[in-house]
Structure 1
Amino acid sequence: MDLGGGTWQRLTAVLLVMAVAAGGTGQGQSADGGGEDLLRNHDWTQMPGTTARNGILQVSALDRRIVEQDASGGRPNPPLNLAGPHLRSDGDFTVTARMSGVGDHDGASWLRLYGQVPVIYDEWRQERPSLRVGVTADGHVKVQIWDGASDEPATSREFDCGCSGTVTLTVSSIGDTFRVKADGRRLGTVQDPGVFAEGTVWFGLEADAGDDERREGWRLTQLTARAESGDALRVIKAPQLRQEQSEDSLRARAADVGRPFDVGTALAENPLLTDSRYRALAGSQFSMLTPENAFKPQFLHPRPDVYDFRDADLLVRFARANHMKVHAHTLVWHEALPHWMRQNDDPEEVRRTMLRHITAVAGHFKGEVAEWDVVNEPMSDDDESYTDGDLGLRSEQNPWFEAMGEEYIDEAFKAAHRADPNARLFLNEYGIEEEGERWDALYDLVRRLKERGVPIDGVGFQNHEYAPADRTDPETFRAHVRDLAELGLQARVSEMDVPLGEDEEDGRQTQAEEMAGKLRVCLQEPNCTSFSTWGFTDRYGSTADTKTYPPRPADSLPWDTALRPKPAYERLLETFDEA
């Protein structure tokens, strides 16, 4: 039979939609023939805030928020299904969601479709193009569109619907327009600024807590996707976590040091699951990872009775798949706290909150984590804290010190040791690489901890060199590492990054020499156990300039925004060889 070109293309597109994920058998189609069944034939077990049972997802309110350094604000940080299915489309498509229990709670029920996943740090979240559609508590259907140029939606439309109970929402991306339906009834259209221009669609599910603070949420009973107008649509499963290893890598050099020594980096779960080149470098170059954000309280403990470890678990799974150690960061810090952790004035209740958090989190990862930053940045930034007999500890906006004084550090380390006796326990601080009162106070602190029998194993030197004044002689750093050795403590470079400065060419060489100098000391001092940078590529660097939107990438790390190695990477390799 002779099929015309247009007929053949349409037939091929139909077959392509059917032959996804189920190995080309057609088993991926929904029961009603409405396209690919994304819910029952794919993995949603790693979607934060949800519980899966019998092909139905219960979506509960996480209320994750990102606060500023001064504990103000609270940008919403809703989750997405990184380890589940996403779509690849070369044209028009339709997504249909059946939502049950709508209106049963005092808040909205949301489906979110991301054209690009957000970039997230402990103090900010960069919203990239996405569409959110949901049913509000008063029965309206609301559509919000982010175009990647602001934290706030570029477009927000609300349609009368009278929806409650079970509602089937349909969103069609047709040309430059989104068409929205509820229960088959057309509600209206919204202009598309190019949300899915890259041809990818990632899924997020959200339940607003509402004023009554309940978390029951709603249920997703159906989720399907189909191509429109003969365009191609593929469903992509989560990538393999195991990455190919290379003999010409930082981790291969570290394995030849002659004693246990790790080279590490901070990793974020969003690019790890969505950027294949980032994933390949992370798994092949490093023997240790530090979670950039996923282990911090505001990410995994957003409410007093709510823990969600799914994003953090993804990083642990990646480490296990690639034989990497996990240096977990962090159990106790004065920043990155959910607001509820700051709202109690009863010192004993604050103490119980800290201990319960440590017990739950360190206990959850027992046996999976090699090391913990138990207490992060306990030293003060106020010069007056180092005078008149003060010990230099941070008190301002630190609920733990306000409730317990210095004893909070003792209590934290003891609780972490009880929860996971085999993990090495570190105190992590910045600005202690140089001589001065900050280092002196930190040294005196860890000496007191040792004298009191606190189970501390070592100190992390962050080595952030944000400005030329932050640069220190490697020999000064060496003296501090040796001081710790006399106390029986280990040391590590924990978060190093070095901006290039105004002269890019000179800056590249300076960056390379600064990193190599600290690595060289670590390799030569037996009690220095690892060298880690705070991220490895400028593409997702945390020191990006957030005064613009989208944030302007920084230049502080060994790989640039195109994931090309800089001289710093080559110099680190050479330093291993020289050692």
Structure 2
Amino acid sequence: MLLVMAVAAGCTGQGESIGGRSDEDLLRNHNWTQMPGTTAQNGILRVSASDRHIVEQDSSGGQPNPPLNLAGPHLRSDGDFTVTARMSGVGDDDGDSWLRLYGRVPVIYDEWRQERPSLRVGVTADGRVRVQIWDGEGDEPATSKDFDCGCSGTVTLAVSSIGDTFRVKADGRQLGTVQDPGVFAEGTVWFGLEADAGENERREGWRLTQLIARPESGDSLRVIKAPQLRQAQSDDTLRARAADVERPFDVGTALAENPLLTDSRYRALAGSQFSMLTPENAFKPQFLHPRRGVYDFRDADLLVRFARANDMKVHAHTLVWHEALPNWMREDDDPEEVRRTMLRHIATVAGHFKGKVAEWDVVNEPMSDDEKSYTNGNLGLRSEQSPWYEAMGEEYIDEAFRAAHRADPKAELFLNEYGVEEEGERWDALYDLIKRLKERGVPIDGVGFQNHEYTPGDRTAPETFRSHVQDLAELGVQARVSEMDVPIGEDEEDGRETQAVEMAGKLRVCLEEPNCTSFSTWGFTDRYGSTSDTKIYPPRTADSLPWDTDLRPKRAYEHLLEALRAAP
């Protein structure tokens, strides 16, 4: 069996290995400062309850989204292995404490997490040792097995992968075995550390004081350092052609940190093809502000470091939205407290990234999907689903933009919306909103047109889109294509040509209209595309982005490249 165990470290170095048949100290020999939910000091990690969850679009549910350590080296072995962890402050009714080994890193979509093979072992609040195994076929563990242990205080847990069996020990005592369905079949494991709050809502967590990997057979373990963030550049890429445009113009994409650190081909394309990135998830409140007053910016910071390493701008997404909110943000009934929550969040998040991002989606998707909102005095604004509108009315948009400008005066500030490329009441209402904001002196710089073309009925003629961009120009407002994707239906003949024409048509409009500043797709490869069918498990990937699941360019890429080559 080939094993790769990734552990966190800084994002420097390229493929350097450390050989030897001795045990590998994975804690003290490496930098764990990039691990979300942890604090490192004197070779000890304190693991705190993060309460990270992913809610669905209707704000229901709350799929656990525990952190894992991406920004670090990995360990290789061609045989069986043992991982030993010494954990302090466990048991005693203080919540569960977990070490998780991922055979494949989860894929995080907008409102959904795809679990892949992994093993989780830990000490429960009542002192048992629990082993859980995910097989990549569902959200819940396929196997969960408890062992009596009476463990509390400081416990040394050891998990050995021997053939097709996991053997579990606590303080040197054999507890039992669990069948391995092939968790590490691809030879990769990343480490995650988790702390559950417990019945008493414990927040102080537990401590990891030792983490050792030992080969049980085969050649020696090798530690491979984290990949270099900077990627090689070439002269015939989207970003290279965009740089030749006679005015500043960026071509971008949404990026996710999980594949960025674990898929070298994804990383190479991301760094070489685009001059701007939009964080797909890491800047959303439920990811970086999971508990009231508690922020963790490390996943988001990772994307900013990648952008800096590759001379890319960051279009930060998003400060205020009615979706992707942690549950606690919906708990307040007092309108003034809701207002304070929004303003504190903006001040803290935009302040943290001051000078590090070029642009912000300050308010995302404020327009309503309910026809009544366009006739009952709501002026087309989303009301019932938005805690911000419910507390402040339309004024929440003014306050959000003013707060973002105070926190980061040099950043360009955008409102981002879908479905406004088309003619109709949604566009009319948005245009009227922008006029009102400008009349009130709100510091709004631009509007993002998402251009999600999920069905043939969503497709809009480039000239219609152009007229809206020109309308904004008359108001002194910028425009950008912010999240374009064009899923192809199974019954569409020559769908990829249609996809290419749709994308290139919108890009040409942007290149020809001086107030259109950038063109971005929502991801760039179907391998990690958020339009996958998540109603089945594992998801069925869609055909919606310029690169396919094998990271091969499609016609859409060639059409985009040609549009940039032909630009003034």
Superposition TM-score tier, normalisation by shorter sequence:
over 0.9
Aligned to 1:49: 37
Contact 1:93 1:233 (C-alpha < 8 Å) held by counterparts:
no
Report the AA paired with residue 251 of structure 1.
Answer: R
User: How many Å separate the matches in 1 of 2:218 and 2:455?
Assistant: 55
Contact 2:17 2:224 (C-alpha < 8 Å) held by counterparts:
no
Contact 2:19 2:221 (C-alpha < 8 Å) held by counterparts:
no
Aligned to 1:468: 456
User: Could you tell me which of 335, 340, 355 is aligned with 2:343?
Assistant: 355
User: How many Å separate the matches in 1 of 2:266 and 2:378?
Assistant: 45
Deviation for aligned residue 1:90: 2.4
Q: Kindly tell me: are residues 259 and 105 of structure 1, through their superposed partners in 2, closer, same or farther at Cα, counting changes over 3 Å?
A: farther
Aligned to 2:418: 430
Aligned to 1:421: 409
User: How many Å separate the matches in 2 of 1:93 and 1:302?
Assistant: 35
Bigger shift: 222-231 or 528-537? 222-231
Report the AA paired with residue 402 of structure 1.
Answer: E
Bigger shift: 179-188 or 232-241? 232-241
Deviation for aligned residue 1:87: 2.4
Report the AA paired with residue 54 of structure 2.
Answer: I
Task: State the Cα deviation string for residues 489-532 of structure 1 (Å, max 9, x = none).
Answer: 00000000001222466100000000000000000000000000
Is 1:364 the equivalent of 2:349? Answer: no
Q: Kindly tell me: are residues 438 and 209 of structure 1, through their superposed partners in 2, closer, same or farther at Cα, counting changes over 3 Å?
A: same
Q: Secondary structure at the match of 2:494?
A: helix
User: How many Å separate the matches in 2 of 1:258 and 1:21?
Assistant: 39
Contact 2:532 2:539 (C-alpha < 8 Å) held by counterparts:
yes
User: How many Å separate the matches in 2 of 1:44 and 1:109?
Assistant: 18
Aligned to 2:531: 543
Aligned to 1:13: none
User: How many Å separate the matches in 1 of 2:221 and 2:312?
Assistant: 36
Q: Kindly tell me: are residues 193 and 23 of structure 1, through their superposed partners in 2, closer, same or farther at Cα, counting changes over 3 Å?
A: closer
Q: Kindly tell me: are residues 495 and 545 of structure 1, through their superposed partners in 2, closer, same or farther at Cα, counting changes over 3 Å?
A: same
Q: Secondary structure at the match of 1:98?
A: strand
Aligned to 1:12: none
Report the AA paired with residue 557 of structure 2.
Answer: Y
User: How many Å separate the matches in 2 of 1:86 and 1:25?
Assistant: 12
Q: Secondary structure at the match of 1:161?
A: coil
Is 1:560 the equivalent of 2:561? Answer: no
User: Could you tell me which of 248, 268, 275 is aligned with 2:256?
Assistant: 268
User: Could you tell me which of 513, 536, 540 is aligned with 2:501?
Assistant: 513
Aligned to 1:443: 431
Contact 1:105 1:214 (C-alpha < 8 Å) held by counterparts:
no
User: How many Å separate the matches in 1 of 2:322 and 2:381?
Assistant: 12
Structure 1 segments, 4+ long, off by >6 Å, are 20-23
- CA RMSD, 1 decimal: 1.4
Give the 5 Å matches for 1:139-288: 139-288=127-276
Deviation for aligned residue 1:131: 0.1
Bigger shift: 210-219 or 181-190? 210-219
Task: State the Cα deviation string for residues 55-87 of structure 1 (Å, max 9, x = none).
Answer: 000100101000011111101000000012322
Q: Secondary structure at the match of 1:319?
A: helix
User: How many Å separate the matches in 2 of 1:25 and 1:278?
Assistant: 28
Deviation for aligned residue 1:471: 0.3
Deviation for aligned residue 1:25: 7.9
Report the AA paired with residue 195 of structure 1.
Answer: V
Contact 2:15 2:226 (C-alpha < 8 Å) held by counterparts:
no
User: Could you tell me which of 545, 561, 565 is aligned with 1:573?
Assistant: 561
Task: State the Cα deviation string for residues 270-291 of structure 1 (Å, max 9, x = none).
Answer: 0000000000000000000000
Aligned to 1:494: 482
User: How many Å separate the matches in 2 of 1:375 and 1:21?
Assistant: 41
Aligned to 2:83: 95
User: How many Å separate the matches in 1 of 2:248 and 2:413?
Assistant: 17
Normalising by structure 2, we get a TM-score of: 0.96
Aligned to 2:8: none
Task: Give 5+ residue unaligned stretches, structure 2.
Answer: 1-13
User: How many Å separate the matches in 2 of 1:234 and 1:147?
Assistant: 26
Deviation for aligned residue 1:397: 1.6
Report the AA paired with residue 393 of structure 1.
Answer: L
Contact 1:105 1:217 (C-alpha < 8 Å) held by counterparts:
no
Contact 2:17 2:223 (C-alpha < 8 Å) held by counterparts:
no
Deviation for aligned residue 1:91: 2.4
Deviation for aligned residue 1:234: 2.3
Deviation for aligned residue 1:210: 1.2
Contact 2:402 2:442 (C-alpha < 8 Å) held by counterparts:
yes
Aligned to 1:332: 320
Contact 2:507 2:519 (C-alpha < 8 Å) held by counterparts:
yes
User: How many Å separate the matches in 2 of 1:144 and 1:322?
Assistant: 39
Aligned to 2:3: none
Deviation for aligned residue 1:390: 3.4
Aligned to 1:9: none
Is 1:343 the equivalent of 2:317? Answer: no
Report the AA paired with residue 375 of structure 1.
Answer: V
Report the AA paired with residue 144 of structure 1.
Answer: Q
User: How many Å separate the matches in 1 of 2:385 and 2:131?
Assistant: 38
Q: Kindly tell me: are residues 111 and 456 of structure 1, through their superposed partners in 2, closer, same or farther at Cα, counting changes over 3 Å?
A: same
Task: State the Cα deviation string for residues 325-361 of structure 1 (Å, max 9, x = none).
Answer: 0000000000000000000100000000000000000
Report the AA paired with residue 54 of structure 1.
Answer: N
Bigger shift: 534-543 or 80-89? 80-89
Deviation for aligned residue 1:553: 0.5
Deviation for aligned residue 1:106: 2.3
Contact 1:375 1:412 (C-alpha < 8 Å) held by counterparts:
yes
Aligned to 1:108: 96
Task: State the Cα deviation string for residues 146-181 of structure 1 (Å, max 9, x = none).
Answer: 000010000000000011111000000000000000
Q: Kindly tell me: are residues 21 and 483 of structure 1, through their superposed partners in 2, closer, same or farther at Cα, counting changes over 3 Å?
A: closer
Report the AA paired with residue 347 of structure 2.
Answer: T
User: How many Å separate the matches in 2 of 1:361 and 1:463?
Assistant: 27
Report the AA paired with residue 532 of structure 1.
Answer: S
Report the AA paired with residue 490 of structure 1.
Answer: Q
Report the AA paired with residue 389 of structure 2.
Answer: F
Task: State the Cα deviation string for residues 533-572 of structure 1 (Å, max 9, x = none).
Answer: 0000000000100111001111100000000000000000
User: How many Å separate the matches in 2 of 1:159 and 1:446?
Assistant: 61
Deviation for aligned residue 1:105: 6.0
User: How many Å separate the matches in 2 of 1:163 and 1:390?
Assistant: 58
Q: Secondary structure at the match of 1:293?
A: coil
Q: Kindly tell me: are residues 438 and 219 of structure 1, through their superposed partners in 2, closer, same or farther at Cα, counting changes over 3 Å?
A: same
Task: State the Cα deviation string for residues 398-454 of structure 1 (Å, max 9, x = none).
Answer: 100000000000000000000000000000000000100000000000110000000
User: Could you tell me which of 67, 87, 90 is aligned with 1:79?
Assistant: 67
User: How many Å separate the matches in 2 of 1:325 and 1:566?
Assistant: 25
Report the AA paired with residue 194 of structure 1.
Answer: G
Q: Kindly tell me: are residues 391 and 363 of structure 1, through their superposed partners in 2, closer, same or farther at Cα, counting changes over 3 Å?
A: same
User: Could you tell me which of 386, 403, 406 is aligned with 1:398?
Assistant: 386
Contact 2:24 2:213 (C-alpha < 8 Å) held by counterparts:
yes
Q: Kindly tell me: are residues 274 and 478 of structure 1, through their superposed partners in 2, closer, same or farther at Cα, counting changes over 3 Å?
A: same
Q: Secondary structure at the match of 1:100?
A: strand
User: Could you tell me which of 477, 486, 499 is aligned with 2:465?
Assistant: 477
